[in-house]
Structure 1
Amino acid sequence: MDPRDIFEPEEVVGKAWHKWVTTIGAPEAHDDHAVALDEVSGRLAVLFRGLGGAGETEIRPVADESSGHRLGFLRRLGAEAESVPRASFDGAVLRLPARLAVFPAREANAALYLWLAALAAHAQPHDKNEDPLQRDLASLRATRAMISATVADAPGLAGLWRDLAAAHLEMRARPALPDGEAAIEALVRRTLGDPAPLPPLAEVFAELIEGGNLAAASAPRRYRPFAPVPLWPELRSLVFGDAEAVETRETDQPPEGTGDGEGPARKARRHRTDQAERKDSFILHKFEAMLSVAQFVNLNRRVEDDDEDGAKKAADDADEIGLGQLAKAPATRLRLHLDLAPEDADLEALSAKHVYPEWDVRRGVYLPAHARVIAAPVEAATDHAHAFDPRAEARIRAVRRQFEALR
């Protein structure tokens, strides 16, 4: 402890309380056996495309996401929502946790990455449901289809799936839930291989999943989705921002401060911010005292930004970072890795002597002046080229004869 902390006892006690209360009921993390995505990313790309995944699909690391599932009473004392590693796939980008520490064995965590990539290769287009209960039922139906297709296409992965599912079943919490949520949780456990009999309501939901008539179910009031399962990716619809309707401006003055740029990519989306430049400020109340559930508000807010620590904490707490356009530079600049949809990226043409168009595989068009070639003079060789090894020449002739035989 810093000796200066004795002059701020309230802050010291607050930090100690926060550190203790946030661990109550938290899921166990096996940090000593964690595996980073960078360690297996090369194998994942080969496996994903080898099992039929689209060649243009990107594989990106993402930070943990906030989950809206129901928490127990003790857990709610320390956290309003739980941050969990979650994989997702929207047909264009496969987002995998930057780090997995789900199981108490490195081999299992590394194998989980491979299983997630194999599942995503067999994912089908997924439509978003507005009703949360229908969304959970549709998710379970799509997940079962993914698992069946993966095991049928790659039978050697069936044993891996059974082992991972059995291990997760032992670790998965059994909270007290309302009837509807308990029925969905029972179906989740059945998907993982739990042989326990289903409650009557879960049997009804299972028939809806088999029959495809999900519209017959509707979520009761205060319904919460089931706790995320790390063994399958969440299928999402491709979401586009307002990149076509916004512009990128230069600020009036350089911002102060800096950022380290470390950490996994954070979800971000472009928004229209035409109201932020208005001269008639919207002043009703001190904004710091107003409770809000919005991630982004298109509003003229004439207040100074927080310091660097406050801005970084706000970025860490946000599930999605909104990108806007302001003429005035912010007081603090943070360097972040952003997970943007391709359409939200700032597609700015290059300026150089040798520029060429670049093919955009998703749009099916050439982007002018998006590839640059830097020409450099070739230095004259100072020594003579080494002669080929006779054995190397013999191998070259043998390979040449093999290809000539294919003519």
Structure 2
Amino acid sequence: MEEAVGIRWHKLITRLAGNGFPEAQVRLEDEGPRLAMVFRALSGDPGLTIKASTERSINTWRPLAHKLAGTGRRHALAWREADALRVPESLAVFPDKTLNRDLYLWLTAMASQAESRVSGDWLQANQQLVLKTLAAYPGLTALYHSLAQCLVEIRRARTRLPAAQAEREAALQVALLTPGSRTAFPAAPGEPWPVPLWLYPLPEEPRLSPTAANDDGKDGESSGNGKTRQSKQRKQARYVDDNQQRNGMMIFRLESLFSWSEFVPVDRCQDDDDDEDTEQIAEDLDFLSLSRSPSTSASRIKLDMDLPSASEDDIQLNDGCLYPEWDWKKQQLKENHCRVIPMLPRDSEPEPLPDRLQALARNLRQRFQGLQPQRIWEKRQASGTLLDLDACLHHAADMRRGQATSQPALWRRETARHRDLSCLVLADLSLSTEAWADNTHQVIDVIRDSLHLLGEALDAGQDDFAMYGFSSRRRDHVRFNLIKNFAEPWGETIHGRIKGLKPGYYTRMGAAIRQATDILRDKPAEQRLLLLLTDGKPNDLDVYEGRYGMEDTRHALLEARQAGIQPFCVTIDQKAADYLPYLFGQQRYQLIRQASELPGLLPKLYLLLTGRTA
């Protein structure tokens, strides 16, 4: 009974103290595509993505109802980071859905004009940012004033504030209605009530803590079951001490031990079982507390993914080549920064095409054989295999008229018309390809099947092509696996190498693209195509993560285009729409919804890219 009454009381007081208008709520997942398009159209930083922000603690005055309900402490705000624009996951500030959608639009417009870090007084900085945004886009003036007027009316209807906070609130409302009119705000305890029309400074960075024994500061951790989960929000973390107090003196009676061999120092204070609701609990927490204990669940499963011994590793063909890398923060190219090492699969034996692919391969070969360069007869040649009857008749008539030449072209010969095209297929062989694409196949299996079938199709069409794979482990070891070069014939040797492909390490994409660009640059073809197969975004163990890896990959693709190469990406990453348009362009990538579609789709896609039909 007490529990039922408590639940009803909690719902009642929370509803009475609640802010906003839930019936008019709009969500970022619905507005995201529109906002991304607007942000790019307003000349916003193309490297930024729009993501959900995390609620932040605001030390502001709260009415009694909020104190009773325990609400009003944390608020979803908007701010701009170096690689993302953070906006609330949902908005219910205004009683009209249209106004809440306009609020998303306004925050996006402000972010397109804002710097990554707010300097000085953020109250003054936001007024100037509003003026700057309205000056750049005068068409948003009516939208802003309607939002500001409605917000001021809502704030005025709120519970009466203490005198000092009320004076500051009045000044802030004037600043909202007439940006730039307030050069100073009255002093008052705490912070003002959140202003959803403004961008806030970046959250404070968590304090640093000495490195623990189980943390080398390099590799990330995963849960014990091998599964990872990407949260929609960015969580704040803080370090805490080990509350188990297991590092002190343990007192026990020595006579309680029967023998030294029977004593096993097992830590009974730690539960070895994983909580099934861990992910949901993490979403509900305000902070994620990181304990610097020498014995954590992560340390039980941590593995150093080192390189295998030389006798077990793929065959290294040479010492590799050095390539530059783009540092987007310094806006400079680091020369000779990455080493790309060519590798050949070890113990790969010639193998026939797998039986399960035989029928599909025959169908593809029949379709592509119809696209082979046709042999044609060239007439009126100085030499050839057969006489050209028309040329002989014309020459006889010219002789009667006295107009015959001394070197008549009286022959015809048969020649083949070749397509001036070269294609390099670059496959991502990172560790993520070890994941399961469906109940029966891993991603690496799908990539192998795709290479088998695409090679059969290109060989039947007599196109010039090569195949490579890549993975990496930091900048000094970028593995570039040779599958087929342009000089090798297609056959069982190549099928054996494809069968021997294994998941590697990480995805330093920029260095691999630069190596592929050098290979294609040496091909004197009129059309040169770089086809990249991947299942995720660029990443590595060092700084090659987030925007750093994205910018280096984009710079490598720009270098490829300047060399006359056409890059195109095929991916099964369902979040690829967030970053691939920035890397490859709007029409230069293909997202595959089901990994099983990849083998059959690749040949069709190739025909489309080369401008042919089957």
TM-score w.r.t. length of structure 2:
0.42
Aligned counterparts, 1:206-245, within 5 A: 206-208=182-184, 223-236=189-202, 239=205, 242=208
Residues 52 and 89 in structure 2, CA contact (< 8 A), matched pair in contact too: yes
Residue 158 of structure 2 is aligned to residue 174 of structure 1:
yes
Structure 2: distance between partners of 1:184 and 1:117: 27
1:161 pairs with 2:127: no
Out of 2, 11, 19, which is 1:19 matched to? Answer: 11
Matches of 1:10 and 1:253, distance apart in 2: 41
How far off is 1:55 after superposition?
3.0
> CA contact under 8 A between 2:44 and 2:111: conserved in structure 1?
yes
Q: Hey, what's the Cα distance between the residues in 2 that align with 1:189 and 1:50? A: 31
1:193 to 171, 177, 181: 177
Q: What is the number of equivalent residue pairs in this alignment?
A: 312
Describe the superposition over 1:49-94 as per-residue Cα deviations: whole angstroms up to 9, x where unpaired: 4434333333211244443321111221111534433212244432
Q: Which residue of 2 aligns with 1:265?
A: 233
Structure 1 equivalent of residue 61 of structure 2: 70
**In structure 2, what residue type is equivalent to 1:166?**
Q
Cα distance in 1 between the residues matched to 2:197 and 2:221: 48
Give the greater-gyration-radius structure (CA).
Answer: 2
Matches within 5 A, 1:42-121: 42-121=33-112
2:127 to 134, 141, 144: 144
The residue type equivalent to 1:264 in the other structure is: K
Q: Kindly provide the CA deviation profile for residues 305-328 of structure 1, in whole angstroms up to 9, marking residues without a partner as x.
A: 999488668645543324456564
For the 8 Å contact 1:48–1:117, the answer to whether it is kept is yes
| Segment drifting more, 63-72 vs 349-358 | 349-358
Give the distance between the partners of 1:282 and 1:234, measured in 2 at CA.
48
Per the alignment, in what secondary structure is the counterpart of residue 17 of structure 2?
coil
Select between 107-116 and 360-369 the one with higher mean Cα deviation. 360-369
Contact 1:70-1:224 at 8 Å conserved across structures:
yes
Structure with the higher strand share, 1 or 2: 2
TM-superposed CA distance for 1:19, in Å, is 1.5
Q: Secondary structure at the match of 2:52?
A: strand
Instruction: Give per-residue Cα distances to partners, 1:103-143, cap 9 Å, x unaligned.
Output: 23332222211100111222244247xxxxxxxxx222111
Q: Which amino acid aligns with 1:126?
A: V
| 1:12 alignment partner AA | A
Alignment of 1:242-253 (within 5 A): 242=208, 247=216
* Counterpart residue type for residue 30 of structure 1: P
Query: What is the CA-CA distance between 1:235 and the residue it aligns to?
Result: 2.5
Q: Any conservation in 1 of the 2:238–2:290 contact (CA below 8 Å)?
A: yes
Per mean C-alpha deviation after superposition, the further-off stretch among 319-328 and 143-152 is 319-328
Partners in 2 of 1:266 and 1:66 — Cα distance? 14
- Larger mean Cα displacement after TM superposition, 160-169 or 148-157: 160-169
Whether the 8 Å contact between 2:152 and 2:173 is mirrored in structure 1 is yes
Does the Cα contact within 8 Å between 1:94 and 1:120 map onto a contact in 2?
Answer: yes
CA spacing shift, 1:86–1:154, aligned 2, 3 Å = same
Amino acid at match of 1:171: I
RCO comparison, higher one (Cα < 8 Å, 6+): 1
**Quick one: distance in 1 between partners of 2:307 and 2:218?**
16
**Closer, same or farther in 2 for the Cα pair 1:39/1:324, shift >3 Å?**
same
The answer as to whether partners of 1:37 and 1:99 remain within 8 angstroms in 2 is: yes
- Contact kept, 8 Å, 2:54 with 2:88, in 1: the verdict is yes
Deviation at 1:372, TM superposition (A): 7.2
Kept in 2, the 8 Å contact 1:266–1:321? The answer is no
* TM superposition shift of 1:47: 3.0
Q: Distance in 2 between matches of 1:61 and 1:325?
A: 29
List runs of 5+ in structure 2 lacking aligned partners: 251-268, 299-304, 341-425, 430-446, 462-614
Change (3 A) 1:112 1:208: closer
Gaps of 5+ in 1: 1-8, 129-137, 196-202, 210-216, 284-301, 332-347, 386-407
Corresponding residue number in structure 1 for 2:25: 34
How far did 1:155 drift?
Answer: 0.1
Secondary structure in structure 1 of the residue aligned to 2:184? helix
Distance 1:55 1:317, change over 3 A: same
Inter-partner Cα distance in structure 1 for 2:111 and 2:84: 10
Residue 164 of structure 1: how far off its partner (Å): 1.2
Kept in 2: contact 1:266–1:320 (CA 8 A): no
| Deviation of 1:233 (Å) | 1.8
Does the C-alpha gap of structure 1 residues 227 and 368 become closer, same or farther in structure 2, counting only changes over 3 Å? farther
Q: 1:270 to 1:381 in 2, by over 3 A?
A: farther
CA distance in 2, matches of 1:117, 1:86: 13
Per-residue deviation, 1:186: 0.8
Paired residue secondary structure (1:59): strand
